[in-house]
Structure 1
Amino acid sequence: MSLHANHRVTRRVRTARTSAHALALAMTAAFAALAAVPVHAGVTGSIALTSDYLFRGVSQTDQDPALQGGIEYAHDSGFYAGAWGSNVSWLSDTVVVGDDISNSLELDAYLGYRGKAGEIVSYDVGVLTYYYPGDYPSGFNSPNTTEIYLGGSVAPSEAVSLGLKYSYAVTDLFGYADSDGSSYLDANLNWTFQPGWTLNLHGGKQWIEHNEDFEYTDWKLGVTKSFDNGFSVAAAYSGTDAEKALYTNAHGHFLADDAFTLTLTKAF
């Protein structure tokens, strides 16, 4: 899951800033004070086929389909860990004459803790790493990214839930130079208006430290149909206000354009 960055940057190796560590410690202290409600333990997973892998409103596959899958283990205590993967092309699609970028896969790993604070309020805190194995030319800033996140949701009924999530990059963000400290705010509303049918609304804002021209907002309106056998089909229309010149790849495709997507998922 990554943003498209079609500018060249220099490699930098650094530890996370003190503020990032302070934020992580603050999260840990805050949620340690909450009494977690035990959740059902076990292993779950899914496999999906989507017409276009959109991450924060930006295509990761040059507007082509993607095959994706993930697995997660959740403990009764509320702790969980998981991994997720997808084919991507956004890095190799930045290639120009003389470059040598070879990457076609995104692998994510995450660890977190989730629970409840009352009857209708849930919370989630964790760390997520995005890894892009491949070959990159000398001087290319690593796209690998680690974010810590803090989320919460309110479910006033079984049919409606409202969620808010804040992600904070403790490394450079997806290859942007000097961008550690970047953040993303994600708001979602889900409404099950008929059994098996859910309306999905999303809005987000991406901030990128020292790369403000690349910042943008994104949105999505969709509907998901779930079946008893674990299959679901989701249709969505999404868009952004990203600068076209900055998010157009070497093939001339505007990756943050308005898009309609279809996704078939099987949960297990």
Structure 2
Amino acid sequence: MSRKTALASSLPLLLLGAGHAYAGTTGNVALTSDYLFRGVSQTNQEPAVQGGVEYAADGGFYVGAWGSSVSWLSDLSTDAAPISSDVELDGYLGYRGKFGDSKLAYDVGALYYWYPGDFPAGFNSADTGEVYFGLSAGLSDTATLAAKYSYAVTDLFGYADSDGSGYLDLSLNWQFTPGWTLNVHGGKQWIENNEAYEYADWKLGVTKAFDNGFSIAAAYTGTDAEKTLYTNAFGNEIAEGRFSLTFAKAF
């Protein structure tokens, strides 16, 4: 298989914040109505269970792991070429810091997406390694603007000869009233030697955070991906615009 018809995971634990490096271990668990990554459903528009854990040391170094249920690989399965893979496991490490006493912060690191399972002979592995660099700026005490660029050092999610692909992520998070945050995102996926599959994506959402660590996020996500290229074997347009709802608990 030379391509991935749905792109893998968004990592809540990797979101750029205000730039502070807090020491200690944190984590989260979540249930989402549709696992959308870079605008594309990873679960055939069905719910997913997710969770992760991260350790951050004094000074900015961090390491973590994250996972989710997925179906996009098994959705490619045929009688002639059976595929059994229903989980995504990610590991990452990096360093966060600030430029002096400014409100400008940076985040640099590496991330590996792993899809364990059984695959037919000749299947181009979906496992993917990326390095990334991000900047974030505190526009005010309640608003943060962030940009991150991810660069694939392996083939990107199974696309043939696609190492060197890149993804640009731009986001704005604004806490417009205590506990309520507006989430705005725009992104662009470039895929080396597979230009027909390139696309832009966007998201507009709102998150309600509670004092006990629970949160609820609602969002509308859309893309300009070519519909025929992002329609799976079940006839579902996995990159079409759609609403999603996510319940999460941080600890």
Same fold (TM over 0.5): yes
Letter in 2 for 1:242: A
Match of 1:5 in 2: 5
Structure 2 CA distance for aligned equivalents of residues 91 and 251 of structure 1: 13
Structure 2 CA distance for aligned equivalents of residues 204 and 157 of structure 1: 23
Structure 2 CA distance for aligned equivalents of residues 129 and 185 of structure 1: 17
Letter in 1 for 2:104: V
**Aligned CA distance change for structure 1 residues 4 and 63 (closer, same or farther; 3 Å):** farther
Structure 2 CA distance for aligned equivalents of residues 62 and 89 of structure 1: 7
C-alpha distance after superposition, 1:8-64 (max 9, x if no partner) = xxxxxxxxxxxxxxxxxxxxxxxxxxxxx9732100000000000000000000000
More helix per residue: 1 or 2? 1
Match of 1:86 in 2: 68
| Correspondent of 1:100 among 79, 82, 88 | 82
Q: How much has 1:158 moved relative to structure 2?
A: 1.3
1:188 aligns with 2:171: yes
Match of 1:77 in 2: 59
Q: Which 4+ residue blocks in structure 1 deviate beyond 2 angstroms?
A: 3-6, 37-40
Match of 1:48 in 2: 30
Structure 2 CA distance for aligned equivalents of residues 166 and 75 of structure 1: 24
Asked if the contact 1:191/1:198 (under 8 Å) is kept, the reply is yes
Letter in 2 for 1:101: I
Asked if the contact 2:130/2:154 (under 8 Å) is kept, the reply is yes
Matches within 5 A, 1:57-72: 57-72=39-54
C-alpha distance after superposition, 1:209-241 (max 9, x if no partner) = 000000000000000000000000000001000
Q: How much has 1:4 moved relative to structure 2?
A: 3.8
Match of 1:255 in 2: 238
1:226 aligns with 2:209: yes
Matches within 5 A, 1:94-133: 94-117=76-99, 118-133=101-116
Specify the SS of the correspondent of 2:121.
coil
Specify the SS of the correspondent of 1:233.
strand
Structure 2 CA distance for aligned equivalents of residues 181 and 101 of structure 1: 26
Letter in 2 for 1:114: R
Matches within 5 A, 1:182-221: 182-221=165-204
Letter in 1 for 2:45: Q
1:138 aligns with 2:138: no
Structure 1 CA distance for aligned equivalents of residues 161 and 201 of structure 2: 23
Match of 2:220 in 1: 237
Structure 2 CA distance for aligned equivalents of residues 106 and 142 of structure 1: 13
Structure 2 CA distance for aligned equivalents of residues 228 and 137 of structure 1: 48
Structure 1 CA distance for aligned equivalents of residues 20 and 224 of structure 2: 41
Asked if the contact 2:4/2:159 (under 8 Å) is kept, the reply is no
Match of 1:161 in 2: 144
Letter in 2 for 1:112: G
Asked if the contact 1:149/1:165 (under 8 Å) is kept, the reply is yes
Structure 1 CA distance for aligned equivalents of residues 89 and 21 of structure 2: 26
Specify the SS of the correspondent of 2:228.
helix
Which runs of 5 or more structure 1 residues have no equivalent in the other structure?
7-36
**Aligned CA distance change for structure 1 residues 154 and 84 (closer, same or farther; 3 Å):** same
C-alpha distance after superposition, 1:36-93 (max 9, x if no partner) = x973210000000000000000000000000000000000021000000000000111
Q: How much has 1:103 moved relative to structure 2?
A: 0.1
Matches within 5 A, 1:23-34: none
Letter in 1 for 2:56: A
Letter in 2 for 1:5: T
Specify the SS of the correspondent of 1:245.
coil
Structure 1 CA distance for aligned equivalents of residues 115 and 234 of structure 2: 21
TM-score in terms of structure 2 length: 0.92
Q: How much has 1:156 moved relative to structure 2?
A: 2.2
